[in-house]
Amino acid sequence: DEMAIAQDEIFGPVLSVLRFSDMDELVRRANATTYGLAAAVWTRDVSKAHILAERLRAGTVWVNCYDVFDAAAPFGGFKQSGFGRELGQRGLDAYLEDKTVTVRLG
């Protein structure tokens, strides 16, 4: 887990395969990095995938797929991965300012 491939954000076609004994160990090791842009879970057990998706500290968790985006869904990372969210309504929020105007009519 001290290897660069397990600790750094690597942007490229790279697959790292690390053994684990149970889901608790998997989550602990996956969350031990300072980054949290995205994660992918490959499993036949969708209920386990939902549990992992909830426990993983990543801005996006793909299940049985990877690099799939929906323009209406916000995208961004946790921890030191990115700033805020892009895409969807959350992505537009950075460019908007709220204003309240109150007018007495009488």
What is the per-residue pLDDT across 19-31, written as a single tens digit (0 to 9) for each? Answer: 899 999 999 999 9
Note the pLDDT tens digit of each residue in 51-65: 999 999 988 899 999
Q: Stretch 80-87: mean pLDDT, rounded?
A: 66
Q: Is the model's pTM score more than 0.85?
A: no
Phi, psi at residue 6, to the nearest 5°?
Answer: -95, -10
Return the structure tokens found at 2: 């001290």
AA letter at 61: V
* Spatial contact of 73 and 87, defined as CB atoms under 8 Å apart: yes
The reported pLDDT for the residue numbered 44 is: 95
Tell me how far apart the alpha carbons of residues 38 and 76 are, in angstroms, rounded to a whole number: 8
Q: Stretch 67-88: mean pLDDT, rounded?
A: 71
Question: Which of these CATH numbers, 3.40.50.2000, 1.10.600.10, 3.40.309.10, 3.20.20.220, describes 4-93?
Answer: 3.40.309.10
Question: Could you tell me which residues come within 8 angstroms of residue 91 by beta carbon, excluding any fewer than 6 positions away?
Answer: 74, 75, 85
